Structure 1
Amino acid sequence: MTGAATTELPGSVPDDDTLVGRARDGDMRAYEQLVVRYQGQMFRLSVKMLADRADAEDVVQDVFLNAWRRLAQLNDDSAFVGWLYRMTTNRCLNVIRARRPRTDVDPDTTESQRTETRPDHAVQVSSQLQALNDALQLLTPEQRACWLLREVHGLSYEEIGDIVEAKTTAVRGRIARARAHLSEVMKPWR
């Protein structure tokens, strides 16, 4: 192979750092690739924190729009994913705080319309997941965020501490309290 060396093979997928650098330079396609790559993770975190798909969709849209607008403020391209998690978590916490007290949840409208047509096992699993989601909503927003980031997204205590802007010991404590609460509430499902 002669000529100028290329850093990217044709058809290869650029890494996050490359995409972030290009997006910072105004490359909308590069940013779109980052959105496609991470919107699912941010949505799953948001929907578990908020227990509301519409609110979660709004949060994710706001986060990615704000990330695009503030991309020049990100000093380290490799910190992009952690930055997204931090913005998503903080935005969810703000939504939770803004909606308190919440008494307008109607369990009849949040339940699937098709539960009676599913096999018994699917109904049991659905009930277990609903119980877990209900139990998650009883945690403090900070405990919920830390537990979800650890148990669902697999982040380290240090990464979670960076995201929620707390010391690692505080993160461990929040997760321990969340686990204890969830273990107690989910006993009937064991």
Structure 2
Amino acid sequence: MTHPDALAERSDRDLLAQHCAGDPNAFGELFRRHKDRMWAVALRTCRDPELAADAVQDGFISAFRRADSFRGDAQVTTWLHRIVVNACLDRLRRIKPTSELPEYEMADRHDHHGSVDVRLDVQEALAKIPEGQRMALTLVDMHGLSVAEAAQVLDVAEGTIKSRCARGRSALAVLLQDRRGDGYPLPR
């Protein structure tokens, strides 16, 4: 068993290996390091805080149980992204599809600052594009993953990520231009 303070100095790969070898504290350190980023991925994927929380929990439980399935051909964070995104997609498939934003985001928009309006408009537009494009854009443009990492997370070819991002950006540009008349600058 490794002392918790010593775990903070270990790499993610070492922690996962220690977890597989029976160290009861190793996975807890992985969770501590990556829970916030996985929460952000889940929230952007699900667009619902309760659903995202459930998906993060499902994802980390799955990662805990299947840690020995980590092949080491990607970073541990990429592996965790894939598991959490899959948990999100599983939860989303179980509910009735909707293109509406959750209620908490539909508050009277005139009372909010302009940047909040932009964020809400982008979230609403994202909800209207196909899931594959939304997932690619979320991972690449919003979470800063490389095309290669996003391809691993979504288990598709890098070219597929590139084309989904390009099509998604084009679709968002049209949707956001319709929204304001002149459009918003999109991340590249």
Q: Please indicate, yes or no, whether the TM-score normalized by the shorter chain is above 0.5.
A: yes
Name which one, 1 or 2, has greater alpha-carbon Rg.
Answer: 1
CA change 1:11–1:26 in 2 (3 A) is closer
Contact 2:81 2:153 in 1 (8 A): yes
CA change 1:15–1:186 in 2 (3 A) is same
CA change 1:110–1:41 in 2 (3 A) is same
1:135 maps to: 125
Q: Does 1:13 align with 2:9?
A: yes
Contact 2:38 2:56 in 1 (8 A): yes
Structure 1: runs of 5 or more not aligned: 1-8, 117-121
- Please show how residues 99-118 of structure 1 align to structure 2 within 5 Å: 99-102=95-98, 109-112=104-107, 116=111
Aligned pairs, number: 176
Could you tell me which of 82, 87, 109 is aligned with 2:78? 82
Q: Give the letter for the 1:47 counterpart.
A: L
Normalising by structure 2, we get a TM-score of 0.82
**What is the percentage of aligned positions where both structures have the same residue?**
25
The RMSD of aligned alpha carbons is 2.6
Of 107-116 and 41-50, deviating more is 107-116
Could you tell me which of 146, 161, 171 is aligned with 2:161? 171
Of 92-101 and 171-180, deviating more is 92-101
Of 70-79 and 80-89, deviating more is 70-79
Structure 2: runs of 5 or more not aligned: none
Contact 2:105 2:120 in 1 (8 A): no
Q: Give the letter for the 1:161 counterpart.
A: A
Q: Give the letter for the 2:27 counterpart.
A: Y
Could you tell me which of 106, 124, 127 is aligned with 2:114? 124
CA change 1:159–1:11 in 2 (3 A) is closer
Q: Does 1:25 align with 2:15?
A: no
Alignment partners' CA distance in 1, 2:17 and 2:110: 47
Contact 2:47 2:102 in 1 (8 A): no
Normalising by structure 1, we get a TM-score of 0.81
CA change 1:115–1:27 in 2 (3 A) is farther
Contact 1:16 1:78 in 2 (8 A): no
Q: Does 1:34 align with 2:24?
A: no
